[in-house]
Chains A and B, each alone.
Chain A
């Protein structure tokens, strides 16, 4: 199985701050990487797919990058509504696997 190592586990950011979350795959996943935001009690929402493609309706302050085994999600200018849990997903090979999550809070 492909292991997804996500870091950090938690993050506290000030309004307007730029933050990054990382995911490292245990093998090459060929940019089959997606990022999700999940708010408390809600379903996850797709932010980024294919490593760097912004899902329709997602604010442009979210961006994704990476290739091979290393990927990152950047939020350029933290907003109050960005609080929540963030997960990466590798869609390269079954079983599909998620990162362990990052809890993002406002400082």
Chain B
């Protein structure tokens, strides 16, 4: 099946710094990718839809200046958590659709 690779799989950063997470579709082109956030023992909540060559569409309540999304090519979308704070610690997962959604392995972000 289709492969979506997410990097890094985990990251620890200091409060106030920024962290970039990459999501790549390895064997197909994805004009649209999705970024989800998952709190411990909870479901996935859609944060934003990443559109190649245009601005991302954010879900209600998600700060677009806090979570910067760039989808500069058909195989790469990046999520940058700016000025991270401990409450941003979470599991972030991307997905890309080719017929159906395929997910990356997720990135566990811990802000200390």
* Chains A and B come from one and the same complex: no
